[in-house]
Every structure is written in structure tokens, then in C-alpha cells.
Amino acid sequence: MASLNTSPLSAARYHGDQDVAPGMLDFAVNVRHDRPPEWLVRQLAARLPDLARYPSIDDVQRAQDAVAERHCRTRDEVVPLAGAAEGFALLSNLRPVRAAIVAPAFTEPAAALGAAGIAVHHVVLEPPFGLDHAQVPDDADLVVVGNPTNPTSVLHTREQLLALRRPGRILVVDEAFADSVPGENESLAGDSLPDVLVLRSLTKTWSLAGLRVGYALGSPEVLARLTAQRAHWPVGTLQLAAIAACCTPGAVADAAADAVRLVALRAEMVSGLESVGVAVVDGRAPFVLFSAPGADLIRNHLQNKGIAVRRGDTFIGLDARYLRAAVRPEWPQLVQAIAQTTAGVQNGRRR
């Protein structure tokens, strides 16, 4: 297993794949399936002969139009991205003076902004990690919040998000897991607001982590600022083809049906985890954040059993008591292994 350098930058750049060794049962990475669906593989394979040519404007516009139709936006409100992570890397182009990040949160925005020399203030939420009492500085001209939030899995309401808007401020909503929530009722992806930027990922839902696929939604003015210093041809032919394919009505319907299945699976997994004495954070994402005494012992035991989970102590606002696990049908194996560890800890205390 990768060891953790405890410097702030190394913690921010620590991700779930670093908890996984070949052959392990992977609860650390939140990719929904082991491989993309066959229809998507076939469509991408059909574009392989086109790789000798640069991506065309038609490819870009097809991707934009598919996203625009999916969210009832216009073409000029859509920018294809090489994964939502590229969107975070571009945030410094908005030239904020003081950025606020609602934490615990995905660590890439803070890492990217900090590397660009931008002052970052973390608004650390207390359990159960709701926005109700978030103290965002009034002078923050860029605010980043996840919905549902990685790693907490908490889903904020539209009203809570919109309450963060201020004159002169851009609100960035990380909706990488929004399509895992049936109905997507709290999403801002369909709202044409001049000061709201929504970042979406297709990587998790469609099992495309190796391709890096996502998009940004915002006003043309904000998107122009976001991409002002972007490299030419930043998104490749296969990425554009994947965006267009995954935003068709049929694909969206498939993902929505899968989201309903995941809700039921998540409820079973949460019940199993709670049955062995761990405390689960109430959430709606396709992963579960939980805490337990001796979480380090649990994680080490799971590693020895060939099971990977995501450590929590690299997220600002969490500590070593927290672990995150993706929702997977193999959850009984995870629960059984945790039960063995917690029983050992309790027996040790009795002695």
C-alpha cells in the first residue's frame, strides 16, 4: 500500500486509487462498474480509425449539443472537459482573490487553487456535514461546494446552494455524483445563472476513469474566462464521442435506472455496516462515509484481507476515525471483515 506523506500538498493529491493494489476488492474508488457498457465500448471503438486526425469542430459541437439538450441549456453554455478534474485545474483562470471551499470536500480544487497562489479558506462543516451553519467569508469571490459531496455523501438542497450567491462571487458546484441521485432534484445543472458554474463528471457513472470525461455548465462569459488559457485541442476525439454518447436520452435513462438500483443497494450496505457498530453519515451518493473506533486497525485488516477502502484523514475536516467505501454488491464481504476487526478490538479491551 502507498504510504502517506503528511504534508498538506501530498494529502490533497492523495486519491482512492492509491489505496488499491492489483487483485484487491475495490471499495476505495467510486467508479460505478468494472467496465463501460458494451454499447459504449463499441461506439468508442468505431472512432479509433479517426485518431489520425485532430478533433473537429463538429465533434466538439456534437458533444456540446448533447449536453445542452440533456440539461436544457444552449451550446454556448457548455464546455467539454477532460474529466471534472480539468475544470478544477482551470478555476484559477477566474482570477479569484480569496476562494472558499466547503469541507470536507474533494481535494483537487484546493490543490489546484493553492498551486496557483490563490488564498484558500476552508469552511469546515461539523457532522452531520450540512450547509445549515456554513460560515462562508463574505469577501470570498469564489466558493466551491460538492453536491452530493465527496467524501461525506451529503446532498445539499438547491435553496442552501443558492443562498451562497453574492454579488461579485462565482459559485462552483461540483456535481460529479449528481446523476446518482434519482430525479437529480437538487441539481443546478439546468439553471442558467450568470454566477453559477456547475462541473459534471461522466467518469464514475460510465466507468471511464481511464478516458477522463466531463463538462462544465455556465454562462458564456464565465466559461470564456474559465478556458482563457486552455491548451489547444484539450479534449480528444474519443472523449468528445463519449460525452455525446453518454448524454443521449437513452443513456441518461439507463443511468437514471441504475441510480434507483444503487439507492436500494446503498440502503442494504448501510444497514449491514450499522449492524457491526460503525457510525454511518447520512447521505445520497454511491459511497458511504463511516466512522469507527480503531478505524486504522480496520483499514489495515481489510488490506490484509484484500479489501481496499478510502482513508478519511487526507480530507480537511475528517480524521483517522473515518473511512469511505463505494457502494458495491460485494458489501457483505466488507461488513464481515469489519466485524472480525471490531470483535478483535473489543476482545482486546476486555482483557
Q: What is the pLDDT of residues 121-171, one digit of tens each?
A: 999 999 999 998 889 999 999 999 999 999 999 999 999 999 999 999 999
In the block, residue with C-alpha cell 459531496 = 149
The reply to whether 73 falls in a domain is yes
Which CATH number goes with the domain that contains 315? 3.90.1150.10
Domain boundary among 216, 247, 278: 247
pLDDT tens for 315-341 read 999 999 999 999 999 999 999 999 998
Q: Both 197 and 271 in a single domain?
A: no
The reply to whether 97 falls in a domain is yes
In the block, residue with C-alpha cell 460538492 = 146
Q: Both 14 and 108 in a single domain?
A: no
pLDDT tens for 56-96 read 999 999 999 999 999 999 999 999 999 999 999 999 999 99
Quote the number of domains for the chain: 2
For 14-46, b where at least 16 C-beta lie within 10 A, e where not — what string? Answer: bebebbbeeebbbbbbbbbeeebbeebeebbee
pLDDT band at 6 (very low <50, low <70, confident <90, very high): very low
Q: Both 62 and 146 in a single domain?
A: yes
Domain boundary among 247, 275, 294: 247
The reply to whether 24 falls in a domain is yes
Residue 22 lies in domain: 8-34+252-341
The reply to whether 206 falls in a domain is yes
pTM comes to 0.94
Pairing of strands 287-291, 322-326: antiparallel
Q: Both 241 and 109 in a single domain?
A: yes
Q: Both 195 and 69 in a single domain?
A: yes
